[in-house]
Structure 1
């Protein structure tokens, strides 16, 4: 008997079976006899995340749909660190009249954060119950992303998530390295570190990146800066297996740091003379020393975070902060056993040999500090530096960013806040629990705000000061489309490029605005398989095989029959190219070609 299907009505139904919530949609199957037979199916809740893949400093838009209207739900984020520790955050929300929760719009009523916080599920992460105490979340392998699972649960819950049914989940990939960024290790003398270069031939403005007295090689900030258009050298100078003790000697001439600066400045992909120095904690002090004490070193600008102009170095010996042992009475111990070191240099000594002579500064400098820094007297040092520069008539060189209720560890945006954590003192190889200070919400706001201002500061003093300045470069957005040409190299004629991802490359079109207000198109090559990882797939293609028109004139391959059989024009949706802005320092680089 022939049957017909028609939609009868929609009905919301809350089913308690297996703790699942669904939207029930009812249909009727109508036979020719007129006897109806009802069938039902259910639409499960769904999490929509934009983007699911992106850089760690990019905002994520989360929306949960197909929930029961005005229903209490819990959102949880969770990741497994490279140290095998679980980190998590959670928040309590109520769906609207349409059964939707928008994290960027709606307020959290409880959990690890409250209020309207679009990125609260990231920055409020803490060690999950049962994990080792005192750990920090730090990326070791920047070539792979963080994998963060976002899940939604029925009701407001605060524990035992693994015992509750998950209504929906999505996995986010958060990268420090954008597609096309190059990572180069320097594992031998004279210096040890890792260089990161943005896509393209360069030359690029550059940054020497130094972390603090914890030592080791920390790459993630450098990788993120390279993803934002700056060639960056993450320098290891203390507590690293490949840095010999002889190189850890802080000699009066700072030879190791001078060599590192010169290697970066003279690199073929670096715009010579356009090098900044960025330092945190002890790196702050070293940045000041390099700018004031080393002859023939002329950084374009300095970014100094959570540090001091107090030297704290024992010249000629591989020991830092010798006063740790002499002034133990200045070290405070909290009730839970955490140590506070901020009083060790206070009051600042009158001996000029113990302080960096900041009146010798010749370049713009940005000072960033938290007013609740419990590790080092950064606020007091900022006041003293401002007084010295004002007396020297150089106050115009100083930009100060002070953040209340913010601690010592000011990192890239959305990094979890650590009020205290374990710390290994390099001079003694002993681990202690250090109180860094700060409160989660204000500290997170400070990280987000300072990062934006750091990028603006670096662009102002590195990019705009280039002889042929390029002030901005952005990939198109909106309703425009890209015409991208594919070139599978070394294959026989007539081979479809989409069938061989390893051979296929894409030429991405960007718009660059130079100092003369003229816009030029730039082509950048990226492997197709790299683009696939970022969900940049072919939407449609148009036309037949066409001749290669993008290679430089005079290239015999470009005019060959083989080239004409390998070139094809593809059309992409511009919204798939959600890359960050990239800075290209020379208009001469903005020429189509290979």
Structure 2
């Protein structure tokens, strides 16, 4: 009997969906290595492998069998995805075109040599970013440059605006996946995309206000307010929008700062100056990588007080998702500072969820942990913090937490399905 590799669901699945992996037809107790690989849209190869032993019936189910070593160890049904590492140094897995899937290649090899065993079975599986029925609508309305993702069905749906950090242009993969959960999600570009400005010397919040008004007025978006989802610098902009603009009901802040961490920000007659930085505080790890966690000034005194986002003015309900080992800046400190300011002014205490051994880039489930990559603001390779397994666990939990939060505060049908590692 030839070994067979089975995947559930078969053929295709969404990226944030758990994937069942099993092998049948092995000899009792046979040692095997499972190997996973995919290429991103720029040709970079990501790979992971793990060693296993078949049970007494010649079967192997990754949901029940612990890995004996390799890229990870222990009971990790999704380890072959979240433990992937690139063949290029300091390369991060990013999905740029959500209309095409990542193609996952899985091999079963005889023995415990990831590159030397005899091939016993193989399979391909498509990991998609558009759930069946989700509609992708490019947005060029006034100055707004974005992409709106609408769930299947009649609507209207709870609306969310999604922002990433600097240097990324327009990223759609988080918005497209979230639309499959019953939200109308608009991925917003704010510079270095299409005909938008190529730099961010001055940020005018009126651009974001125009985007908020567009989303609120869309016939498929349920009012009276929308949600905001942002990470890193995008999270800062979400805090600014929640502070200065109307129509924001709820906001999820992933590893953000309570200070204006970039360029000058203006809204009408109000100005937030950029918080100071000191590159002499860059540290170097034992591996020779740069650590920038202390570069940003702590905005509690002096001139940098003019850089603090006055969140105490906001009536938005907040959820802060924090990597406690974030090495981009001190995200937990900033979340707790925002909480203190809100409560001191009689506002609702925000929910703060802290994840131990978790770094800066908290992504949707199963994206591999990125130890270090090029930082577009400082133009150097920096570490982002965290440990692979803890970071993977945090991503699964954070994805469920933000969906539950938005359904609670924006309404709509809760389609949150517990993900698994």
CA distance in 2, matches of 1:401, 1:386: 12
- In the alignment, what sits opposite 1:69? 28
Distance 1:312 1:321, change over 3 A: farther
Look up the match of 1:47.
5
Distance 2:273 2:30 in 1: 56
Q: Is the 8 A contact 1:338 1:432 kept in 2?
A: no
Mark the CA change 1:332 to 1:321 in structure 2 (over 3 Å): closer, same or farther.
farther
Aligned residues: 410
1:406 to 347, 358, 362: 358
Q: CA RMSD in A?
A: 2.2
Distance 2:21 2:30 in 1: 17
Give the C-alpha shift of residue 187 in structure 1.
4.5
Tell me, yes or no, if structure 1 residue 279 matches structure 2 residue 230: yes
- Name which of 394, 409, 415 aligns with 1:446: 394
Q: Which residue of 1 aligns with 2:150?
A: 197
Asked whether 1:102 is paired with 2:53, we answer: no
The answer to whether residue 329 in structure 2 is matched with residue 376 in structure 1 is: yes
Are 1:256 and 2:214 matched, yes or no?
no
How far is the alpha carbon of 1:48 from its aligned partner?
1.1
Q: For residues 170 and 365 of structure 1, do their structure 2 counterparts lie closer, same or farther at Cα, with a shift above 3 Å needed?
A: same
CA distance in 2, matches of 1:200, 1:270: 12
Q: Which residue of 2 aligns with 1:233?
A: 186
Residue aligned with 2:404, SS: helix
**What is the distance in 2 between the residues matched to 1:455 and 1:77?**
29
Which whole-Å CA distance do the structure 2 matches of 1:96 and 1:454 have between them? 38
- Please give the per-residue CA displacement for 1:27-84, whole angstroms capped at 9, x wherever unaligned: xxxxxxxxxxxxxxxx210011101311111111111000010111100111111110
Alpha carbons of structure 1 residues 81 and 98: separation in structure 2 relative to 1, 3 Å: same
Report what 1:244 is aligned to: 197
Q: Contact conserved, 2:31 with 2:52, CA < 8 A, in 1?
A: yes
* C-alpha distance 321-390 of structure 1, shift in aligned 2 (>3 A): closer
Structure of greater Rg: 1
Aligned to 2:247: 298
Change in 2 beyond 3 A, CA 1:309/1:247: closer
Contact 1:238 1:248 survives alignment (8 Å): no
Contact conserved, 1:337 with 1:433, CA < 8 A, in 2?
Answer: no
Residue in 2 that maps onto 1:268? 219
8 Å Cα contact 2:28/2:58 also seen in 1: yes
1:454 is paired with a residue whose SS is helix
Q: d(CA) in 2 for partners of 1:437 and 1:269? A: 39
Task: Name 1:119's counterpart in structure 2.
Answer: 78
Distance 2:222 2:244 in 1: 23
Residues 1:134 and 1:188: Cα distance change in structure 2 (over 3 Å): farther
Counterparts of 1:456-467 in structure 2, within 5 Å, are 456-463=404-411
Distance in 2 (alpha carbons) for counterparts of 1:102 and 1:142:
30
The 3-state SS of whatever aligns with 1:301 is strand
**CA offsets 1:108-155 (integer angstroms, 9 cap, x no match):** 01011110011011100011xxx3211111111101111101110001
- Equivalent in the alignment of 2:269: none
Question: Partners of 1:122 and 1:71 in 2: how far apart?
Answer: 23
Task: Quote the Cα distance in structure 2 between the aligned partners of 1:437 and 1:286.
Answer: 23
- Which 5+ residue runs of structure 1 have no aligned equivalent? 1-42, 464-469, 475-579, 582-594
Q: CA deviation at 1:302?
A: 0.4
Q: Please, which of 363, 366, 384 is the counterpart of residue 436 of structure 1? A: 384
Match of 2:310 among 345, 354, 357: 357
Tell me how far 1:164 sits from its aligned partner.
4.1
Task: Tell me the residue number matched to 1:174.
Answer: 127
Three-state SS of the structure 1 residue aligned to 2:332 is: helix
Quote the residue 1:390 is aligned against: 343
Between the aligned partners of 1:316 and 1:453, the Cα distance in structure 2 is 30
Superposition misfits of 4+ residues, deviation over 3 angstroms: 245-249, 320-324, 470-474
- SS in structure 1 of the partner of residue 171 of structure 2: coil
Give the corresponding residue for 1:481.
Answer: none
> How many Å separate the matches in 2 of 1:209 and 1:413?
17
Distance 1:200 1:370, change over 3 A: same
Alpha-carbon separation, structure 1, partners of 2:82 and 2:25: 27
TM-score, normalised by the number of residues in structure 1? 0.66
What TM-score does the superposition give when structure 2 sets the normalisation length?
Answer: 0.92
| Structure 1 residues 5-38: Cα deviation after superposition (integer angstroms, max 9, x where no partner) | xxxxxxxxxxxxxxxxxxxxxxxxxxxxxxxxxx
